[in-house]
Structure 1
């Protein structure tokens, strides 16, 4: 078998290049701050700060003039975290960030706590998108240029959302699946060459080796900090984890399954999360951090509850298997029954209602005969659809709320209504399944080019489209009211000019009425 050390020997003579100077390669110029990633609850504000260079002493954050303790998030000191609890809900707080000598690192700004739990807001706006990651420039995968990604996010932010949900694939830097198992030999070789030039992660050396640590810093800097910068400083963020965030694609073969993640790739995800994910402030206790790290909740007073969940880490096999840990599934089902929120939205990393014929989906559907992509669907597990059915039944079973799922992963925009799933009749409260739009996907990354097929509806579903599926970049603005949810979808794709994004208008608008 072709081992990773063979790749390392081949690339060692080339060196890691000037891109690694200083241990990290940020994309933004002229600021010591490379990214600000905030999060919020009704009584807490939190902030991750990524710096251009490690400081000699911790940066100082104040909220309403009071200093907040700093916690270093990485070995080298590029990433710092701040968490302040006990704040007043629904209030705009003033934040200032300075270096240890008192010099401002940027202008002061405001960040608002979410409404108190007993409040009854009449409106809350959320920006949803997926797949913002990907290294800029060069083959073999050709992700969308950073300027276009930033423009899409800026257009989304121009609508003044109260919260933003980035659903999965913040990082694309697959290891075994990109270097050993997927695609053709020439593409794998091109990927290895690209990795040598930018950031080589060596699984045969110590996890915390200088090479691995600096390479991970570079990937984080180019794919997360380079996209977000500080544009979300006043908008709380939630990150959901998906397959590529574990540095692999969801595949299987005679060599085994890529999920659940092996210790090395899980460590990469955890280190990335510590450095460059917004703090997860709403994780339930599911018995341990490994399981609990796959679910996050957001509560917006009496108006809304969001449940966001990772469908990769909990993979298990067999008819009783699932993509979610049993504890995660039980929590999600229980919250649908117990929550008193007027509206409830599921945000899974793996989409309801759609398939691209790949392995790690809820559905059994494989690629068509004309697919140019290697088919590993024979490794799909019946238990995954059985788990889908239990979640679908619970989601549709809400009798006073609409059933809504706004997912990640799929490189497309769409909205559909599911009235039947297998033997489940969902027509009394059908599931509204929304693909919110992808930020970072380049032309070569859409299912129709990468896999040879466009996304399609699984055979087990009776489903009708509200907004036709298109393989285009974009995002969704979701306005939540006590009696309805209004959705606007925004779509764009090259060769349309990047300048047009600033004035992008909704391609589709629709309303989901509360039951």
Structure 2
């Protein structure tokens, strides 16, 4: 529709021919680009994907849908104007195969779980088209459980922006001697696009590259301007390696400098300011034992040692750090209020970055927020999957505002003309014996 007015509530009704389907519901348009509204309330969270309470061998990897729904219901009760789902909307890591290679180091377990997954969901044919083949059936079975069954119509009156990350390409970001999962291959990109086209909308106001999936812009009049960045789908290796494609980086930096918004944010799917020793990070930090020279930290492997720069991280790219410095420098140089919100690392935390390599931010530090996961359970916390909690990278200095806490959570960001308040909501879920429901247990508020 081309005749909608800004900052106006409308009613939307779905019809099947002449028959109404369900009840009408309200939709509120955003303020006009040149308007300066009094306030904006933004909900942010990450990693909501995962099978309904999926686990094996005594471990639960993802929380049950009931827990996740209660967490999101608590968030929606705070009446946000918009919401950010930052990456990992599904977990179905194929490792280049047709079904997830769960238990690949234990052949009998892998065989048993493989038969179960084929029976319940089916198996991808990597040589076939995604839509109009049996692949579409498999895709919808996964999307129905992990996305549609979680959200239903709960967000029908709240604009929800889905930012992609590694698992949305049906792979974890692995770099091992026998397998490197990114850059995403043709199948992974087709699967990611097909899932997105079926279950969530493209991002708005971004550059043409990536077809509205790799970058977007969330503007709320002149009060807030946020750049949304997928740090997986356009990843490159070698030469001028980047987590975000060059054209998108250029657009993001240019927009940062030109935006007239009172408050500005970079919202990358992978965080600036934290490391868990993963391969596809801006930083070279890795978990290693004394004497190790080159290390590949395998997901759910038997990682031992400490997090730091004591060894080389296998296939890590220095170009990623160079891009990190360019993005952070652009944000630091901007006048007025600016901050970062991100996902991927399964934890709730906040800090102010005061030094990044040779970039001195001590006079005007930049706040970085980990907005908290929705679905993590026994086996998916960094301390369980990687052997360490997330931490400040060695090349950074930062003031801790909220310590890294491995809990399911969400953040409400309240923005007014003069301030940005971040309300971090701890919903628990680390210890199943506590029987937590997904409702808010504790809250912490900081000023960005």
TM over 0.5: yes
1:363 aligns with 2:283: yes
Alignment match, 1:163: 82
Match of 1:420, SS? strand
Structure 1 length-normalised TM: 0.78
Distance 1:377 1:180 in 2: 24
Q: CA deviation at 1:98?
A: 2.1
Spell out the pairing of 1:34-433 with structure 2 (5 A cutoff). 84-100=1-17, 102-140=18-56, 142-176=61-95, 179=100, 184-186=105-107, 188-189=110-111, 191-208=113-130, 210-285=133-208, 288-289=209-210, 293-318=213-238, 320-369=240-289, 373=301, 377-401=313-337, 403-433=338-368
Deviations 1:346-404 (A, max 9, x none): 11000111111110111100124398736793111111111101111111111222x31
Q: CA deviation at 1:254?
A: 3.4
Deviations 1:473-507 (A, max 9, x none): 01000001122100101112234444571xx2552
Match of 1:486, SS? strand
Residues 1:156 and 1:344: Cα distance change in structure 2 (over 3 Å): same
Distance 2:438 2:230 in 1: 34
Residues 1:118 and 1:86: Cα distance change in structure 2 (over 3 Å): same
Alignment match, 1:50: none
Distance 1:108 1:382 in 2: 52
Residues 1:85 and 1:410: Cα distance change in structure 2 (over 3 Å): farther
Q: CA deviation at 1:261?
A: 1.2
Alignment match, 1:28: none
Q: CA deviation at 1:408?
A: 1.1
1:466 aligns with 2:364: no
Deviations 1:448-483 (A, max 9, x none): 111211111110010121011110001000001122
Structure 1 residues without counterparts, runs of 5 or longer:
1-83
Deviations 1:324-345 (A, max 9, x none): 1000111111111100111001
Alignment match, 2:372: 437
Residues 1:103 and 1:279: Cα distance change in structure 2 (over 3 Å): farther
Structure 2 length-normalised TM: 0.89
Distance 2:110 2:240 in 1: 35
Equivalent in 411, 415, 422 of residue 487 of structure 1: 422
Q: CA deviation at 1:180?
A: 5.3
Match of 1:105, SS? strand
Distance 2:324 2:240 in 1: 12
Distance 2:326 2:285 in 1: 19
Residues 1:398 and 1:191: Cα distance change in structure 2 (over 3 Å): farther
Residues 1:484 and 1:188: Cα distance change in structure 2 (over 3 Å): farther
Distance 1:308 1:190 in 2: 40
Bigger shift: residues 427-436 or 182-191? 182-191
Distance 1:379 1:181 in 2: 24
Residues 1:194 and 1:367: Cα distance change in structure 2 (over 3 Å): farther
Distance 2:289 2:147 in 1: 37
Deviations 1:226-246 (A, max 9, x none): 110011011011000000000
Distance 1:330 1:394 in 2: 11
RMSD: 2.2
Distance 1:366 1:391 in 2: 23
Match of 2:123, SS? coil
Match of 2:314, SS? helix
Match of 1:445, SS? coil
Q: CA deviation at 1:257?
A: 2.6
Give the total of aligned pairs. Answer: 422
Structure 2 residues without counterparts, runs of 5 or longer:
291-296, 304-311
Q: CA deviation at 1:297?
A: 0.2
Deviations 1:301-341 (A, max 9, x none): 11110110000122222352111100011111111110011
Distance 2:385 2:104 in 1: 10
Bigger shift: residues 205-214 or 353-362? 205-214
Distance 1:399 1:137 in 2: 45
Q: CA deviation at 1:176?
A: 1.4
Match of 1:98, SS? strand
Match of 1:121, SS? coil
Match of 1:411, SS? coil
Alignment match, 2:294: none
